[in-house]
Structure 1
């Protein structure tokens, strides 16, 4: 028998949901608890049969119920009195529609406490996990509970082993992801991506008697965590132990139920970023596909108050991917390997000095990043964007130390014959082998490049430019030594429309304004803020002469007795302020004017050199070559970004000019022929 025969039968249960008006996006919430119910029942039934075979059916039959309970409880896989003691499984209960409600309630109540909690049998206002109680209530209201349960009772998974049931479970969860995941990869990582991640990890491993501890802090339903474990177990004889955590109630419950049928597996419920359930543990393998672009505002206070020192920098509140990255690094033991799925924002979002850039710099400074692999678009079930595998390694080979490899695997795929949601491509076995071999070789090829890690660093050099006029002069040259500006004592300030001749205002028209403060806020402040010395022909008259800005020459002019003197490029600054009353002076609105050099803060992006002296020389050489105005160097901040487009961009090959001219000549001939036909 092939267990996949049940895939279509399980999805046929959705037809009943559709028929009673339940939206497609809600189907998973109705199907998850019943799938878990069938899965638990089948495994429990097999466990009973195995014990009967070991002890003998007659011996098992005459055992005291408490003894049977102890034997099965010790296996940690659950218990159900209705099945074990009364031989009433879901199929038996559904044979009698008259007694169904009573029998089904008794059946659910017969599970052990942990199973009931995970299914949500007694859920009230607290954690509901799979919330089968809520689903049953809704199905009863639709009057389809019996019919829906009967469809599930016809799915007999008892003949199949754990591996086969897990395979079916992953296919079902993948379809749930197609219709219900709100963000890329939040619920389900495709099998081909899991296989690639597992093969990358396996390539860094060897057989050993040491226990291999595998950890996924965003394990969802467990497909990535258990998928990697299963593939490693196919290649090695090492004992493995899995650890996972997730705070989605339903997905945690599915992973927890699955973990109970595995030899060594611990699944915890809760928000990994605020409540790490494995805070004392470190791991040999860390993997994750954290949600992309999901805000962590709801627990911002907890993150900023975190005392674990996991978070070296706090990234933008709109995306928590790099929080998970830092958490994962904190969980790696001294020889650990990690593979993390991210979208492109973790590669380049945030300017130099931002938390995102600083996190990337920290990862490269500590030489944790061995490679970043760009996957094809249309790889995940609910997004068509590019995704990336970050390969982290705390035990790099000597040839990889202080280096990072970028692998552009965007073309390493096989098209699917039939799309699965947004998934139209898969990284097939042959391409996976090629990618892993490329990583192993750690050499440049047509789609992969190896760089010193500092290649991804850059200087963001701040500088203060001093603008000059058409003669190359700045107003700074007209100032007295040590002065940064020239304060004027205006007699009148005017533009084409505005005339000001009062510069200390202590009284205002009471018919217009009730106070100086009101006049300041409503009239003088916006008036002064709206003055533009370049655009409004602003003139300041003083006892010494008039000052204005000549836009054609980009210079300040002082005019005295008809004589105009160019002072150099600068600004006319008019300010208004409200002064409070003191013991010696009344409250007043004061208007001041001054001339300043025209300074402009700017930034230049300059290639980075790891040698400090060489880096400083590179900055100076850049300035000498490209900056013609006077300047002062300000702060320099080193940023980090990994930009695949810059490295792997292939410009479109231009056609030869003769070929284009020939084509134009042919088109011209065709047009003339058409014109001749029209004339006839």
Structure 2
């Protein structure tokens, strides 16, 4: 899909990064009045404001004339939005050119300019607490200098020069720089476009209902939308398939800065800004009773959910009426709660692509919250596939990450099965790193992964990337039942001093010191396993069947493990001997025969 994908990916690493760096250089003027970790408090909202300004500039005079005509009307928003050509407007006479032309009155004029924005823009600036930063700039004598910086070439955000999608990535790059100054956790990372495109293609490629009779009509939801680039790219991908596709995107975000950027992006693209909601998804769900065709998300991992503990546990107690009925994960990591939230938001034919780290595959013993969540997905036959991404794919973390594909409506050949795809060796190395991001999933890589997902077969598959380098993807289709096990408790009798069994009510008393457990594959008979694996070594043992628990884990590493034959000892010894001879020859050559 989309021949220019690789070029756009490279723009993220080059043009977009360079543009963001130029904008961030405004921070040089903030030294002294602001601490380094506070620079983003000014740069981010100013970038949003300048983008609004540059979008509105061509219709500025028309909006002012319309405002004079309708200013006394009770309802005037519709007229002003129509005149502006956007879902927002500004009725102030000031532009950045006029602001910089009058340095003596910059404070009053800039206030007038900000107050001229429509209410939806005012909400964005309020979320960012921009008025406090304006006050600090005024106190530090910096306001005119900052406004002038954004009126220079580096602050030119006109739509003719920067497309909406690319502007979103510039915003995201700025947010990344701001976050790095806080040394945020590895899980609070950003998703680059190559990963998003792969997630989008996996969602669409496996969707039996992608095309309706009259074309594509879909709703898309991101529960941790950041600056909304996943939603933007999903819309872009669907419209590449059908230019007339009807796509409605929805998102929730807890960070006021990234929320402001997401809402700004939605306003600029002409969407419904009410679809962008502010709040903590886990504790304050803004989309109760909503269901979507697609869910696409990269939630934080390794982040505790203690802050949301009260609301999450209350939701869990609702049972099937709540989002977290199956179980609650460890309080140290809330990523699987987002997984459950996403599943709860899917239509009966819906699909989700969500990023998780490795702990979601196996952390948690049988009966634990994590295991119960895996059980919920697998026993309902919603877990479709898991794709391991290459390490060093993300800007702020190099750890192993996975895309889980959840499908509420599996096609027949996938029923009762789960596909594991190891794409850890399917990447193209970047010429220049961006933080921890050292590799890209280019078109050739993405096409190979998506093809193997669609072919649904076992094997190791090879191809070459755009530079002629080999790329490798492995696939294994497993019966879902093989991912489960019964954890049985094996008891042994307590013995008295004479070596006889201690009895109670004519039954042997269990010796808790000898208690043991065994994991019996779910597709194997427990009694047959016990007879074969335990009784020959402990004839008096028995199973306490009241303690048996069902567990699920996804043995990703074990599935793709390849045993490598160790060299025979005589071959190793011969190589060591040859190395010693070579070393001695060099010493003799260096020091002479006496060495």
> Is TM more than 0.5 here?
yes
Question: Going by fraction, where is helix more abundant, 1 or 2?
Answer: 2
Q: Is the counterpart of residue 29 in structure 1 residue 36 in structure 2?
A: no
Residue of structure 2 aligned with 1:433, choices 424, 447, 462 = 447
Higher share of residues assigned strand: 1
Cα distance, 1:330 vs. partner? 0.8
Superposed CA RMSD in Å reads: 3.0
Matched residue SS, 1:317: coil
Match among 44, 62, 76 for residue 56 of structure 2: 44
Contact 2:295–2:346 under 8 Å retained in 1: yes
Q: Tell me: CA distance 1:355–1:16, structure 2 relative to 1, closer, same or farther (3 Å).
A: same
Q: What's the offset of the Cα at 1:34?
A: 0.4
Structure-1 residue corresponding to 2:419: 405
User: In the alignment, does 2:173 pair up with 1:166?
Assistant: no
Task: Tell me what 2:534 maps to.
Answer: 623
Match of 1:140 in 2: 138
Structure 1 residues 377 and 672, CA gap change in structure 2 (3 angstroms)? closer
Structure 1 runs not aligned, ≥5 long? 121-128, 486-595
Q: Which residue of 2 aligns with 1:544?
A: none
Structure-to-structure mapping, 1:236-635, within 5 angstroms: 236=242, 237-265=244-272, 266-306=275-315, 307=318, 308-312=321-325, 313-446=327-460, 447-466=474-493, 475-477=499-501, 482=506, 599-609=513-523, 614-625=525-536, 627-628=537-538, 630-634=540-544, 635=547
User: 1:517 — aligned with what?
Assistant: none
What secondary structure sits across from 1:415 in the alignment?
strand
Q: Deviations over 1:118-152 (max 9, x none)?
A: 112xxxxxxxx122112223323433221112101
Q: 1:479, 1:130 → 2: CA distance?
A: 71
For residues 422-446 of structure 1, the C-alpha deviation after alignment (integer angstroms, 9 at most, x for no partner) is 1111111110010000100011111
Superposed CA deviations along residues 239-297 of structure 1, whole A, max 9, x for unmatched, are: 00001111211111111121123344411111222222221211100111111111111
CA deviation vs aligned residue, 1:398-452 (integer Å, no higher than 9, x gap): 1100100000111111111111111111111110010000100011111110000
Q: Secondary structure at the match of 2:103?
A: coil
Matches of 2:253 and 2:414, distance apart in 1: 34
In structure 2, what is the Cα distance between the partners aligned to 1:231 and 1:66? Answer: 44
Secondary structure of 1:160's aligned partner: coil
Out of 16, 32, 36, which is 2:29 matched to? 16
Q: Which runs of 5+ in 2 are unaligned?
A: 1-10, 461-473
CA distance in structure 1 between the aligned counterparts of 2:512 and 2:80, rounded to whole angstroms = 83
Normalised by the length of structure 2, the TM-score is 0.84
642, 645, 649: which is aligned to 2:561?
649
Q: Please tell me whether the aligned partners of residues 337 and 392 of structure 1 are also in contact (alpha carbons under 8 angstroms).
A: yes
TM superposition shift of 1:179: 5.1
Q: 1:450 aligns to what SS in structure 2?
A: strand
Q: Distance in 1 between matches of 2:86 and 2:120?
A: 10
In the aligned structure 2, how far is the partner of 1:461 from the partner of 1:346? Answer: 23
**1:639, distance to aligned residue in structure 2 (A):** 0.8
**Aligned pair in 2 of structure 1 residues 109, 300: CA closer, same or farther (>3 Å)?**
same
CA distance in 2, matches of 1:289, 1:269: 17
Deviation readout 1:41-67 (Å, 9 max, x if unpaired): 122224558x79xxxx9x869855568
After TM superposition, the score normalised by the length of structure 1 is 0.74
* CA distance in 2 between partners of 1:331 and 1:434 (Å): 30
Q: Are residues 7 and 656 of structure 1, via their aligned partners in 2, closer, same or farther at CA, if it must alter by over 3 Å?
A: same
CA distance in 1, matches of 2:237, 2:395: 22
State the 1:371 CA deviation: 0.2
Report the CA distance shift for 1:176/1:222 in structure 2 as closer, same or farther (over 3 A).
Answer: same
Contact 1:413 1:425 (C-alpha < 8 Å) held by counterparts: yes
Pairing of 1:634-673 with structure 2 (within 5 A): 634=544, 635-670=547-582
- Residue of structure 2 equivalent to 1:224: 230
Q: Contact conserved, 2:87 with 2:270, CA < 8 A, in 1?
A: no
Over 3 Å counting, the alpha-carbon distance change for 1:457 and 1:48 in structure 2 is same
Question: Retained in 1: the 8 A contact 2:482–2:522?
Answer: yes
- Of 71, 80, 89 in structure 1, the residue corresponding to residue 79 of structure 2 is 71
Where 2:573 maps in the other structure, the secondary structure is: helix
CA contact (8 A) 2:253 2:259 kept: yes
Deviation, 1:387, is 0.7
Q: CA deviation at 1:622?
A: 2.3
Following TM superposition, by how much is the alpha carbon of 1:617 offset from its aligned partner in structure 2, in angstroms? 2.4
Distance 1:33 1:633 in 2: 64
Per-residue CA deviation, residues 565-619 of structure 1 (Å, 9 max, x unaligned), is: xxxxxxxxxxxxxxxxxxxxxxxxxxxxxxx968521111222217xxx344234
Distance across 2 between alignment mates of 1:111 and 1:280: 33
User: Does residue 71 of structure 2 align to residue 157 of structure 1?
Assistant: no
Alpha-carbon spacing, 1:278–1:62, altered in 2? closer, same or farther (3 Å): closer
Which has more radius of gyration? 1
Q: What residue in structure 1 maps to residue 5 of structure 2?
A: none
Local SS of the residue matching 1:604: strand
Query: Retained in 2: the 8 A contact 1:406–1:450?
Result: yes
Separation in structure 2 between the aligned mates of residue 382 and residue 428 of structure 1, nearest angstrom: 19
Q: Aligned in 2, Cα 1:171/1:465: closer, same or farther, shift over 3 Å? A: farther
**Corresponding residue number in structure 1 for 2:7:** none
8 Å CA contact 1:474, 1:598 repeated in 2: no
In 2, distance between residues paired with 1:224 and 1:598? 53
Contact 2:419 2:456 in 1 (8 A): yes
Distance 1:215 1:113, change over 3 A: same
**Greater alpha carbon shift after TM alignment, 104-113 vs 403-412:** 104-113
Q: Secondary structure at the match of 2:23?
A: helix
Q: Which moved more, 1:333-342 or 1:38-47?
A: 38-47
Contact (CA 8 Å) 1:294, 1:320: kept in 2 or not? yes
Q: Secondary structure at the match of 1:388?
A: strand
Alpha-carbon distance in 1 for matches of 2:29, 2:66? 40
Give the Cα–Cα distance (whole angstroms) in 2 for the partners of residues 339 and 106 of structure 1: 45
Task: Quickly say closer, same or farther: Cα 1:660–1:468, change in 2 above 3 A.
Answer: farther
Q: Give the SS at the match of 1:189.
A: coil
1: CA distance between counterparts of 2:346 and 2:485?
A: 28
> In the aligned structure 1, how far is the partner of 2:233 from the partner of 2:159?
22
Measure, in 2, the Cα distance between the counterparts of 1:339 and 1:378. 20
Task: Provide closer, same or farther for how the CA distance between residues 24 and 651 of structure 1 changes in structure 2, counting only shifts above 3 A.
Answer: farther
SS at match of 2:500: helix
SS in structure 2 of the partner of residue 410 of structure 1: strand
**Where do residues 70-89 of structure 1 align in structure 2 (5 Å cutoff)?**
70-73=78-81, 77-82=87-92, 86=93, 88-89=94-95
Q: Does 1:204 align with 2:203?
A: no
> Offset of 1:380 from its aligned partner?
1.0
Matches of 1:303 and 1:61 in 2, distance apart?
A: 47
Question: Could you tell me how far apart the structure 2 residues matched to 1:598 and 1:222 are?
Answer: 54
